[in-house]
């Protein structure tokens, strides 16, 4: 299996999209839903949907203080994130168009919910009555972004080789 990481400006048509880490993060910044995965202390996998906001090179998620996410992520801080990115515009209302995706490993740290007021983009996603009962999961990508369908025309998504890319997150 070949995964393209060719630089922008290359015009090969049989490889994946030519993306930079900034291109990928821009796509992540425009979405607001992700699947956050972690492992429990007993080794069991867990995934859950979260809404998030992006601030610089971080993804910020508000979760309940007493949630599994807060307890388990706080134990080792290793997570995996997959962001589905809507494609097709109004056409997606009529046809089953799959989203593009961005997946990446990350290191997450837990911060007090008291910092929520300093993150307006995330604060507007959390009802004010829940601010006191939440913590902030600060997610920082590591390793590589693995994308499918990002930066390619909609019809090209049918071709896996031309639709996927692996880009260093740094």
Q: pTM score, two decimals?
A: 0.85
Q: What is the pLDDT of residue 138?
A: 96
Distance CA 148, CA 164 (A): 4
The pLDDT value recorded for residue 21 is 96
Domain 21-168 in this protein, CATH class: mainly beta
At 32 the pLDDT is 94
**Domain map (residue ranges) of the chain:** 21-168
Cβ contacts of 160 within 8 Å, gap of 6 or more: 148
Instruction: Output the pLDDT for position 136.
Output: 94
Q: Confidence band (pLDDT; 50, 70, 90) for 87?
A: confident
The predicted structure's pLDDT at residue 157: 86
What tens digit of pLDDT does each residue of 5-28 get? 444 443 334 577 889 999 999 999
pLDDT of residue 57: 94
d(CA 59, CA 15): 29
**DSSP 8-state code for residue 129:** G
Burial profile 2-34: b = 16 or more Cβ within 10 angstroms, e = fewer: eebeeeeeeeeeebbbbbeeebbbebbbebeeb
pLDDT at 133: 92
User: What pLDDT does residue 156 have?
Assistant: 87
Q: Distance between terminal CA atoms of the chain?
A: 23
Q: Report pLDDT digits (tens) over 22-77.
A: 999 999 999 999 999 999 889 999 999 999 999 999 999 999 999 989 989 988 89
pLDDT in tens, 103-152: 999 999 999 888 888 889 999 988 888 888 999 999 999 999 999 999 99
């Amino acid at each position: 299996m070949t995964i393209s990481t060719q630089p922008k400006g290359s015009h090969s048509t049989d490889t994946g999209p030519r993306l930079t880490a900034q291109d990928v993060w821009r796509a992540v910044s425009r979405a607001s839903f992700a699947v956050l995965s972690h492992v429990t202390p007993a080794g069991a996998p867990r995934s859950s949907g979260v809404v998030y906001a992006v601030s610089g090179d971080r993804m910020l998620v508000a979760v309940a203080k007493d949630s599994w996410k807060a307890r388990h992520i706080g134990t080792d801080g290793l997570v995996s994130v997959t962001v589905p990115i809507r494609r097709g515009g109004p056409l997606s209302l009529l046809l089953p168009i799959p989203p593009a995706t961005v997946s990446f490993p990350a290191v997450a740290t837990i911060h007090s919910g008291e910092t929520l007021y300093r993150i307006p983009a995330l604060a507007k996603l959390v009802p004010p009555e829940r601010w006191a009962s939440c913590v902030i999961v600060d997610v920082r990508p590591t390793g590589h972004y693995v994308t499918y369908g990002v930066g390619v025309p909609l019809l090209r998504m049918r071709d896996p080789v031309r639709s996927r890319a692996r880009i260093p997150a740094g």
